[in-house]
Amino acid sequence: MQVDWREMIGTLKYGHIYHLVILPFYKEPEEMVEAAIQSIAASTYDKSHIILALAAEERAGKKAVSIAHRMKEKYESQFGHITVAVHPEHVVGEIKGKGPNITFAAEEVKKNYINPEHIPYEDIIVSAFDIDTVILPQYFLCLTWYFLTCENPHKTSFQPVPLYNNNIWEATAVSRVAAFSSTFWQMIQQERAEKLTTFSSHAISFKALNEVGFWQKNMISDDSRIFWNLYLANNGNYSTIAISYPVSMDATTAPTMWTTLRNIYRQQFRWLWGVENVPYMLFGFIKNKAIPLKKRLYHTMVQLEGWWSLATHPLLILLLGWLPLVLGGDAFRDTVLSYNLPYITRNLMLAAMLGLVLAVAVAFSFMPQLPLDSPKRKRKYFFAGVQWLLVPFTIVIFGAIPGIHAQTRLALGKYVGEFWVTPKHRDLKK
Amino acid sequence: MKPLSRKIRSRVLWALLFVFLTCTPILIGYSKGYRLDDALELIQTGGIYLHSDIANTTVFLDDDFLENNGAFLKNTFVQDLLPNRYYAVRVEREGYQSWVKVLLVKPNLVTEARVLMLPNEFIWRQIRASTTLTFKETDVVPAEESTTTTTQEVVNPEYTELEEYFTDDKEQFEVEVATSTYEYIRGVRRATTSTIFEIEFPQWLAEFASTSRLSEKEMVREREGMVTWIENGDIYAAWGRINDPVPYFFCMESCADRLSINWQEPILRYEFYPNRNDLLLVLSERGLYVVELDNRYLRMMERW
C-alpha cells in the first residue's frame, strides 16, 4: 500500500488503456450503487478512459432501472461513458444470476460504445465488480501497471484481494470472522499465483473475454468459471496474476443474528458451489489434448485436493484428537497413545493458535479505525480480538458443512438454478 | 508487491517438510510411550491412571512423592514407567486411611485403578424412621382458656430410602408372581390366589444368567453391569454385559471370568457401595466391611 502507483506507471505509456467497469446490481439501495460509483469517480485514473456499465436486472423491477438512469444522469459527465444495461428477464438458456447480467452489459457496451468509437479490444481492461465493491484511488493505476508489464496481458486475469471491511464494525463477530477468513484465503492464494483462479472483482482483457463470449450465462460461479473458459480456450496458456491490491466489499450482515447466520451460510454455499467447475475442467482436460499433460495433471490435483480438503479438514482437525478414543475399541483405549492423544492434540492446537494470533494482528491492520468518540469503542476493539475464538466453529459451520453440502448436491445432480444474491446491509449515512 | 518467489517458497516447503518428517515420528513415538532408557536403548514404557473421587490427595509412587491433586483435578496419570515391573501407588489425605495398590505396568499400556479412601473415624448418626411433631392449640374464650395438644408422625424420607436399600427379605431380581390354585369342594371349583416370589433377570442379563446359572446362586446383586453372588460362603463377581469391555481390574496377566472374595464367616447381607460398582458393603457377625472387588494387592477390606 506504500507504493505510489502513479510514480510506478509514470515510466510506461498507458494513455491508450481504457477501463470498462461493470457494476451489476439487483435490489440494492441507491446509496450503495452511488457509493460504488463515487469510489470509481474518486480514482486517480483518467476518467475519460473509464467506461461504466450499470448492469440492472429487469426482474428487480422499475426501481432498479430508475436508479441506473439517475446514476447515469448524475455521473455521466465524470466518465468517458456510462451505459445502462437492463438485463431482460426470462431469457432461454440463462440462469437468474450475475453471469448473464454482466455478459449482457459487456455486449451492450461493445455494441453501443466500443465498436462505434473503434476502441481496440486489446486496449480495454474489464473489471467485473460487485455493487458493494469500493476501490482505493490508485486501483486502476495499479491494475494498468500489471496489465502493461505482464508477459501476456490477453492471456491473463488480474485478481485483487477482496477485503470485506466496508461495514466491518456493523457486522457481528461471526460475520467478521467469516469475512476475514475469506480474505485470508485470498491472500494465501495471492502468494501462490500458479494455483490462483479468478474470484470476485477480477479484471480481464476485453479481447480475451470477447473471444470466449464473455461470462457463461448458465453458471452460478461465473467469477471462477471464466478462468476455466479462458484456460481451455487458450490451450492452457492462461493464468491469473495476483495484484496484491485490496478492494473493499461488504461483510454479510442482516437485521437479526439468525438472518445473518443464514445469509453467511448461503453465501458460503454459493461460493463453494464453485465445485461445479471441477467436472467442467476435467471434461475440458479430457477433450483438449493441446494442453500439456503435466498442466492438466497439476490443475486436476490442485483442484481435487483443494475442494476435498476444504470440506473435510476442519472436521478432521475437530475430531481427530477424540475420534480414535471413540472408535478405537477396548484394545486402543488401554494404550498409552489413547491417554496421550488428547494432550498431544491440545498442544498441537495451541501451537496452531499462534497462527491465529498473527491473524488477529493482520485483521486489525485491515479494519478501519473507530473514531475516538465512538460509543463503546474499547469494548468493540476487545470483542474484535476475542471473536477469533470462534474460528474452530466457523470453519466447520461455514466452511466444511456448506462445502460438503455443495459437493453432495452436485454429486446427486441437484443443480442450483438461481444465483442467490447476498442481501447487503450497510449504514450508508456514515 | 510481488508474491514470494518460487525459489523462496520451495526452500520454505523443503524446510517445513524436513521438520514434519523429523518431528512426526518423534511425536508418534513419544505418544506411544517410546523413551530412551539409561543405556540409551529405545523402550516402550507404560503408565498408571488412578480414578479418584476424593479431592486434595497426595500421590506417592514407590514411596516417592508424585503429585498433589486439587479440588477439580482428582485423577492422576503417570507415564514413562519402565515396563514389566510392579509399582506401589499410595494415596494419602489427612483424616483418611491411606490407599495402596501394587500395579503391574506393561509396555504401551496404561494400568488403571480406582482409589478408595475411607475416613479414619466414622461419625455414626442415628437416622430415625419418623419424627413426632406436637401441636398445641390454645382457645382463648373470655373468662376461660383451654389447650388442645395434637401430635403428628412425619416419616423421614432418608430412612425410607435406606430401608428400601437394606430390606432383608427382598432380593434384587425377585418379582412378585400371583398364582392361583383350584380345588373342588362338592363339585364347586374354588380358586385360591397366593403371591410367590420368582427370580427374573432382565433381558440384557439373560444370556450371562443362563451360562453362569445365576438363578441357582444366593444373594445375586447387579450394578452397572457388575454381577455378584454368594457361592459356598464366598463372594463372587463377574461382568454381566457380555458385549461390553470387561472392567480393567478383571485383567492382570490375562482377563479373568470372575473374581472371588474368600469369606471366613457367614455373610448376613451385602450390597454395592453407593455409586460404585467395584466396592461392596458386607455385613457379617463381626461387623460391617467395605471390600474392593479389585483383587490386585493390596485389596482394601475395612471393617467398621
- Quick: pLDDT tens for A362-409: 889 888 888 888 888 888 888 888 899 898 899 999 999 999 999 999
The CA-CA-CA angle for residues A106, A51, A131, to 5°, reads 70
- Residue A101's Cβ-count burial label (10 Å; 0-12, 13-18, 19+) is buried
Chain B from 269 to 288: CB within 8 A of any A CB: none
Q: Is A106 on the interface with B (CB under 8 A)?
A: no
Look over chain A and give the mean of its residue pLDDT values, rounded to a whole number: 91
Distance in angstroms (rounded) separating the CA atoms of residues A36 and B239: 73
Residue A277, pLDDT > 70, answer yes
Of A195-204, A248-257, B163-172, which gets the smallest average pLDDT?
B163-172
Asked whether residue A423 is assigned to any structural domain, the reply reads no
pLDDT confidence tier of residue B204, bands split at 50, 70 and 90? confident
Q: Is A338 on the interface with B (CB under 8 A)?
A: yes
Distance in angstroms (rounded) separating the CA atoms of residues B88 and B81: 12
Higher pLDDT, A304 or B132: A304
Among the listed residues B126, B129, B116, B125, the one whose alpha carbon sits nearest the alpha carbon of residue B50: B116
Give the count of domains, chain A.
1
Asked whether residue A103 is assigned to any structural domain, the reply reads yes
User: B204: part of which helix (H) or strand (E)?
Assistant: helix B203-211
Domain hosting A96: range is 5-295
Distance in angstroms (rounded) separating the CA atoms of residues A266 and A420: 8
Give domain limits for chain B. 6-31, 42-114, 127-165, 169-303
Asked whether residue A413 is assigned to any structural domain, the reply reads no
Backbone angles phi, psi at A241, to 5 degrees: -105, 135
| Pick from B4, B47, B245: CB nearest A191 | B4
Per-residue confidence (pLDDT) for residue A308, from 0 to 100: 96
- d(CA A279, nearest CA chain B) in Å: 29
Residue B245, pLDDT > 70, answer yes
Distance in angstroms (rounded) separating the CA atoms of residues B270 and B254: 28
Residue type, A325: L
Q: Is A331 on the interface with B (CB under 8 A)?
A: no
Asked whether residue A230 is assigned to any structural domain, the reply reads yes
Give Cβ neighbours of residue A34 (< 8 Å, ≥ 6 apart): A71, A74
| Pick from B9, B77, B109: CB nearest A335 | B109
Contact A330 B30 (CB under 8 A): no
Q: Is A347 on the interface with B (CB under 8 A)?
A: no
Give Cβ neighbours of residue B250 (< 8 Å, ≥ 6 apart): B239, B256, B259
Distance in angstroms (rounded) separating the CA atoms of residues A316 and A191: 25
Per-residue confidence (pLDDT) for residue B120, from 0 to 100: 87
User: Contact at 8 Å (CB) between B284 and B275?
Assistant: no
* Mean pLDDT calculated for residue range A262-270: 92
CB burial string A311-323: b at 16+ within 10 A, e below: beebbebbeebee
Distance in angstroms (rounded) separating the CA atoms of residues A375 and B208: 70
Per-residue confidence (pLDDT) for residue B105, from 0 to 100: 94
Per-residue confidence (pLDDT) for residue A323, from 0 to 100: 81
Query: Using a CB-CB distance cutoff of 8 angstroms, which residues of chain B are in contact with residue A340?
Result: 30-33, 79
Residue A2, pLDDT > 80, answer no
- d(CA A243, nearest CA chain B) in Å: 8
Query: Using a CB-CB distance cutoff of 8 angstroms, which residues of chain B are in contact with residue A328?
Result: none
Distance in angstroms (rounded) separating the CA atoms of residues A337 and B209: 36
Contact A330 B245 (CB under 8 A): yes
Query: Using a CB-CB distance cutoff of 8 angstroms, which residues of chain B are in contact with residue A159?
Result: none
Residue A25, pLDDT > 70, answer yes
Q: What is the ipTM of this complex?
A: 0.74
Question: How many helices (H) and strands (E) in chain A?
Answer: 18, 8
Give Cβ neighbours of residue A268 (< 8 Å, ≥ 6 apart): A178, A398, A399, A402
Residue A51, pLDDT > 90, answer yes
- Which segments of A275-371 does DSSP mark as H helices, in order? 277-287, 293-319, 323-327, 329-333, 336-366
Q: At B180, list the grid cell.
A: 392361583
Among the listed residues B156, B169, B258, B148, the one whose alpha carbon sits nearest the alpha carbon of residue B219: B169
Distance in angstroms (rounded) separating the CA atoms of residues A18 and B50: 76
pLDDT tens string A146-167: 999 999 999 999 999 999 988 8
Q: Is B13 on the interface with A (CB under 8 A)?
A: no
Query: Using a CB-CB distance cutoff of 8 angstroms, which residues of chain A are in contact with residue B104?
Result: none
Q: What percent of chain B has pLDDT over 70?
A: 95
Contact B3 A190 (CB under 8 A): yes
Q: Is CATH 3.40.605.10 the classification given to domain B42-114?
A: no
Q: Is B1 on the interface with A (CB under 8 A)?
A: yes
pLDDT tens string A95-138: 888 999 999 999 999 999 999 999 999 999 999 999 999 999 99
Q: Is A293 on the interface with B (CB under 8 A)?
A: no
Q: At A238, list the grid cell.
A: 492462461
Distance in angstroms (rounded) separating the CA atoms of residues A402 and A406: 6
pLDDT tens string A399-412: 999 999 999 999 99
Per-residue confidence (pLDDT) for residue A120, from 0 to 100: 96
ω into A341 cis (within 30 of 0): no
Query: Using a CB-CB distance cutoff of 8 angstroms, which residues of chain B are in contact with residue A349?
Result: none
Distances in Å between the Cα of A127 and the Cα atoms of A36, A106, A131, A292, B117 are 13, 10, 12, 30, 75
Look over chain B and give the mean of its residue pLDDT values, rounded to a whole number: 87
Asked whether residue A415 is assigned to any structural domain, the reply reads no
Per-residue confidence (pLDDT) for residue A318, from 0 to 100: 84
Asked whether residue A238 is assigned to any structural domain, the reply reads yes
Q: How many beta carbons lie within 10 A of that of residue A3, not counting itself?
A: 14
Per-residue confidence (pLDDT) for residue B140, from 0 to 100: 66
pLDDT confidence tier of residue B252, bands split at 50, 70 and 90? confident
Residue A183 belongs to a domain with what CATH number?
Answer: 3.90.550.10
Query: Using a CB-CB distance cutoff of 8 angstroms, which residues of chain B are in contact with residue A335?
Result: 32, 108-110
3-state secondary structure of A178: helix
Per-residue confidence (pLDDT) for residue A126, from 0 to 100: 97
Asked whether residue A97 is assigned to any structural domain, the reply reads yes
DSSP state of A146: H
Per-residue confidence (pLDDT) for residue B197, from 0 to 100: 77
Closest CA in chain A for residue B33:
A336
Asked whether residue A224 is assigned to any structural domain, the reply reads yes
Per-residue confidence (pLDDT) for residue A429, from 0 to 100: 57
Residue A140, pLDDT > 90, answer yes
pLDDT tens string A310-355: 999 999 888 877 788 788 877 788 899 999 988 888 888 888 888 8
User: Contact at 8 Å (CB) between A37 and A25?
Assistant: no
Residue B258, pLDDT > 70, answer yes
Q: Is B3 on the interface with A (CB under 8 A)?
A: yes
3-state secondary structure of B111: strand
